[in-house]
Amino acid sequence: MDVHQAIRERYSVRSYLPDPIPEDKLMRVMEAARLAPSAKNRQPWKFVLVTEQQKRDALAGFARNPFVSEAPVCIVAVCTEKDWMLSSGVHAYAVDVAIAIDHITLAAVAEGLGTCWIGDFDQQPARELLKIPDEHIIVELLPIGYPADVPGDKKRKDLREIICWETFS
Ligand SMILES: Cc1cc2nc3c(=O)[nH]c(=O)nc-3n(C[C@H](O)[C@H](O)[C@H](O)COP(=O)(O)O)c2cc1C
Protein backbone atom coordinates (compact mmCIF):
# COMPACT_ATOMS: atom_id res chain seq x y z
CA MET A 1 0.00 0.00 0.00
CA ASP A 2 1.19 3.48 -0.91
CA VAL A 3 2.10 5.57 2.16
CA HIS A 4 -0.28 8.36 1.14
CA GLN A 5 -3.14 5.90 0.97
CA ALA A 6 -2.28 4.54 4.41
CA ILE A 7 -2.23 8.08 5.82
CA ARG A 8 -5.64 8.81 4.27
CA GLU A 9 -7.18 5.55 5.44
CA ARG A 10 -5.91 5.59 9.05
CA TYR A 11 -8.45 6.69 11.60
CA SER A 12 -8.98 6.20 15.30
CA VAL A 13 -10.73 2.85 15.58
CA ARG A 14 -12.93 2.78 18.68
CA SER A 15 -14.65 -0.58 18.14
CA TYR A 16 -12.88 -3.86 17.37
CA LEU A 17 -13.77 -7.41 16.30
CA PRO A 18 -12.51 -10.08 18.73
CA ASP A 19 -10.60 -11.93 15.98
CA PRO A 20 -6.97 -12.59 16.90
CA ILE A 21 -4.16 -11.04 14.85
CA PRO A 22 -1.92 -13.64 13.15
CA GLU A 23 1.57 -13.33 14.61
CA ASP A 24 3.30 -12.76 11.27
CA LYS A 25 0.96 -9.82 10.59
CA LEU A 26 1.60 -8.34 14.02
CA MET A 27 5.36 -8.79 13.60
CA ARG A 28 5.28 -6.94 10.25
CA VAL A 29 3.59 -4.07 12.03
CA MET A 30 6.15 -4.12 14.84
CA GLU A 31 8.96 -4.20 12.27
CA ALA A 32 7.74 -0.75 11.16
CA ALA A 33 8.35 0.47 14.72
CA ARG A 34 11.79 -1.13 14.81
CA LEU A 35 12.81 0.76 11.66
CA ALA A 36 11.63 4.15 12.95
CA PRO A 37 14.21 6.92 13.25
CA SER A 38 15.19 8.28 16.67
CA ALA A 39 17.53 10.99 17.91
CA LYS A 40 21.13 9.71 17.78
CA ASN A 41 19.58 6.35 16.83
CA ARG A 42 19.17 5.60 20.54
CA GLN A 43 15.91 3.67 19.95
CA PRO A 44 14.71 4.50 23.46
CA TRP A 45 11.67 2.25 23.39
CA LYS A 46 10.16 -1.04 24.31
CA PHE A 47 6.70 -2.26 23.26
CA VAL A 48 4.76 -4.49 25.63
CA LEU A 49 2.27 -6.56 23.62
CA VAL A 50 -0.64 -7.27 25.93
CA THR A 51 -3.00 -10.06 24.86
CA GLU A 52 -4.34 -11.47 28.17
CA GLN A 53 -7.97 -10.48 28.59
CA GLN A 54 -7.60 -9.61 32.29
CA LYS A 55 -4.70 -7.25 31.63
CA ARG A 56 -6.49 -5.65 28.66
CA ASP A 57 -9.55 -5.12 30.85
CA ALA A 58 -7.38 -3.48 33.49
CA LEU A 59 -5.75 -1.19 30.89
CA ALA A 60 -9.20 -0.25 29.57
CA GLY A 61 -10.15 0.68 33.14
CA PHE A 62 -7.04 2.85 33.56
CA ALA A 63 -7.97 4.56 30.26
CA ARG A 64 -11.69 4.80 31.16
CA ASN A 65 -12.37 3.49 27.65
CA PRO A 66 -14.00 0.02 27.31
CA PHE A 67 -13.04 -0.31 23.64
CA VAL A 68 -9.37 -0.56 24.64
CA SER A 69 -10.00 -4.14 25.82
CA GLU A 70 -12.06 -5.10 22.75
CA ALA A 71 -8.94 -5.15 20.58
CA PRO A 72 -7.12 -8.52 20.77
CA VAL A 73 -3.79 -6.77 21.44
CA CYS A 74 -2.91 -3.60 23.28
CA ILE A 75 0.54 -2.28 22.41
CA VAL A 76 1.98 -0.41 25.37
CA ALA A 77 4.70 1.95 24.11
CA VAL A 78 7.32 2.51 26.79
CA CYS A 79 10.15 5.02 26.74
CA THR A 80 13.32 3.72 28.36
CA GLU A 81 15.25 7.05 28.37
CA LYS A 82 12.75 9.65 29.43
CA ASP A 83 15.18 12.30 30.69
CA TRP A 84 17.18 12.69 27.50
CA MET A 85 16.93 16.20 26.04
CA LEU A 86 17.82 17.42 22.57
CA SER A 87 20.13 20.46 22.50
CA SER A 88 17.08 22.39 21.26
CA GLY A 89 15.50 21.96 24.69
CA VAL A 90 12.94 19.48 23.40
CA HIS A 91 12.46 16.18 25.26
CA ALA A 92 13.61 13.57 22.76
CA TYR A 93 11.54 10.70 24.09
CA ALA A 94 8.08 11.95 23.23
CA VAL A 95 9.25 12.69 19.68
CA ASP A 96 11.08 9.39 19.23
CA VAL A 97 8.35 7.18 20.60
CA ALA A 98 5.62 9.08 18.75
CA ILE A 99 7.39 8.44 15.44
CA ALA A 100 7.58 4.71 16.17
CA ILE A 101 3.90 4.65 17.15
CA ASP A 102 2.96 6.47 13.97
CA HIS A 103 4.89 3.91 11.92
CA ILE A 104 2.84 1.25 13.71
CA THR A 105 -0.47 2.96 12.95
CA LEU A 106 0.32 3.27 9.23
CA ALA A 107 1.73 -0.25 8.88
CA ALA A 108 -1.41 -1.50 10.65
CA VAL A 109 -3.57 0.08 7.94
CA ALA A 110 -1.52 -1.68 5.27
CA GLU A 111 -2.26 -4.96 7.10
CA GLY A 112 -6.01 -4.29 7.27
CA LEU A 113 -5.83 -3.47 10.99
CA GLY A 114 -6.93 -0.46 12.99
CA THR A 115 -5.47 1.33 16.01
CA CYS A 116 -6.26 4.19 18.33
CA TRP A 117 -3.73 6.33 20.20
CA ILE A 118 -4.63 6.43 23.89
CA GLY A 119 -2.82 9.14 25.82
CA ASP A 120 -5.48 9.57 28.48
CA PHE A 121 -4.74 6.84 31.05
CA ASP A 122 -3.44 6.43 34.58
CA GLN A 123 0.32 5.97 34.35
CA GLN A 124 1.22 4.42 37.71
CA PRO A 125 -1.28 1.53 37.87
CA ALA A 126 -0.55 0.67 34.22
CA ARG A 127 3.17 0.58 35.01
CA GLU A 128 2.58 -1.63 38.05
CA LEU A 129 0.31 -4.01 36.10
CA LEU A 130 2.99 -4.60 33.46
CA LYS A 131 5.98 -4.50 35.86
CA ILE A 132 7.50 -1.53 34.07
CA PRO A 133 10.37 -0.05 36.12
CA ASP A 134 9.75 3.38 37.69
CA GLU A 135 12.51 5.03 35.65
CA HIS A 136 10.60 4.30 32.43
CA ILE A 137 7.40 5.93 31.24
CA ILE A 138 4.47 4.68 29.20
CA VAL A 139 3.99 7.12 26.34
CA GLU A 140 0.81 5.70 24.83
CA LEU A 141 -1.49 2.70 24.84
CA LEU A 142 -2.36 1.50 21.34
CA PRO A 143 -5.15 -1.05 20.95
CA ILE A 144 -4.77 -2.85 17.63
CA GLY A 145 -7.14 -5.19 15.84
CA TYR A 146 -9.70 -5.56 13.09
CA PRO A 147 -12.00 -2.53 12.95
CA ALA A 148 -15.68 -3.01 13.76
CA ASP A 149 -16.58 0.60 13.06
CA VAL A 150 -16.29 2.84 10.02
CA PRO A 151 -14.29 6.04 9.61
CA GLY A 152 -16.03 9.38 9.90
CA ASP A 153 -15.04 12.55 8.05
CA LYS A 154 -11.47 13.74 8.60
CA LYS A 155 -11.91 17.07 10.31
CA ARG A 156 -8.71 18.97 9.77
CA LYS A 157 -7.56 22.55 9.47
CA ASP A 158 -7.06 23.79 5.94
CA LEU A 159 -3.49 23.51 4.61
CA ARG A 160 -3.34 27.29 4.29
CA GLU A 161 -3.99 27.61 8.03
CA ILE A 162 -1.07 25.43 9.05
CA ILE A 163 1.74 26.44 6.72
CA CYS A 164 3.47 29.75 6.26
CA TRP A 165 6.51 30.59 4.17
CA GLU A 166 9.83 32.02 5.36
CA THR A 167 8.62 33.58 8.62
CA PHE A 168 5.99 32.64 11.16
CA SER A 169 2.70 34.29 10.59
C1 LIG B 1 -1.09 11.80 21.34
C2 LIG B 1 -2.53 11.36 21.11
C3 LIG B 1 -3.31 10.99 22.18
C4 LIG B 1 -4.63 10.56 21.98
N5 LIG B 1 -5.35 10.11 23.04
C6 LIG B 1 -6.61 9.61 22.84
C7 LIG B 1 -7.34 9.05 23.93
O8 LIG B 1 -6.89 9.01 25.07
N9 LIG B 1 -8.58 8.56 23.67
C10 LIG B 1 -9.13 8.55 22.41
O11 LIG B 1 -10.24 8.06 22.24
N12 LIG B 1 -8.44 9.08 21.35
C13 LIG B 1 -7.20 9.60 21.53
N14 LIG B 1 -6.47 10.09 20.48
C15 LIG B 1 -7.06 10.08 19.12
C16 LIG B 1 -7.43 11.49 18.63
O17 LIG B 1 -8.61 11.91 19.29
C18 LIG B 1 -7.63 11.41 17.11
O19 LIG B 1 -6.41 11.03 16.51
C20 LIG B 1 -8.07 12.73 16.49
O21 LIG B 1 -9.35 13.09 17.00
C22 LIG B 1 -8.14 12.67 14.97
O23 LIG B 1 -9.01 11.63 14.56
P24 LIG B 1 -8.51 10.41 13.65
O25 LIG B 1 -7.40 9.70 14.40
O26 LIG B 1 -9.71 9.51 13.50
O27 LIG B 1 -8.03 10.94 12.35
C28 LIG B 1 -5.18 10.55 20.66
C29 LIG B 1 -4.37 10.92 19.58
C30 LIG B 1 -3.06 11.32 19.79
C31 LIG B 1 -2.20 11.66 18.60
Low-confidence residues of the chain: pLDDT under 50: none
For a ligand 1 pocket test, name from 91, 103, 117 the mutation site with the most ligand atoms within 8 angstroms of its C-beta. 117
| pLDDT for res 19 | 97
| Number of independent structural domains in the chain | 1
Asked whether residue 167 is assigned to any structural domain, the reply reads no
Residue 120 Cβ inside 6 Å of ligand 1? The answer reads yes
pLDDT tens sequence across 4-18: 999 999 999 999 999
Asked whether residue 103 is assigned to any structural domain, the reply reads yes
Residue 149 Cβ inside 6 Å of ligand 1? The answer reads no
Task: Write the residue with the smallest CA distance to atom 30 of ligand 1.
Answer: 117
Q: How far apart are CA 73 and CA 53, in angstroms?
A: 9
Burial pattern 44-79, b for ≥16 Cβ within 10 A else e, equals bbebbebeeeebbebbbbbbebebbbbbbbbbbbbb
Asked whether residue 83 is assigned to any structural domain, the reply reads yes
| pLDDT for res 41 | 97
Asked whether residue 169 is assigned to any structural domain, the reply reads no
Which CATH number covers residue 102?
3.40.109.10
CB 117 within 8 A of CB 63: no
Residue 17 structural domain: 3-162
| pLDDT for res 125 | 98
Residue 119 Cβ inside 6 Å of ligand 1? The answer reads yes
Asked whether residue 87 is assigned to any structural domain, the reply reads yes
Q: Which residues contact 99 (CB under 8 A, 6 or more apart)?
A: 36, 37, 38
Q: Quick check: pTM over 0.95?
A: yes
Asked whether residue 168 is assigned to any structural domain, the reply reads no
Asked whether residue 45 is assigned to any structural domain, the reply reads yes
Asked whether residue 38 is assigned to any structural domain, the reply reads yes
CB 94 within 8 A of CB 59: no
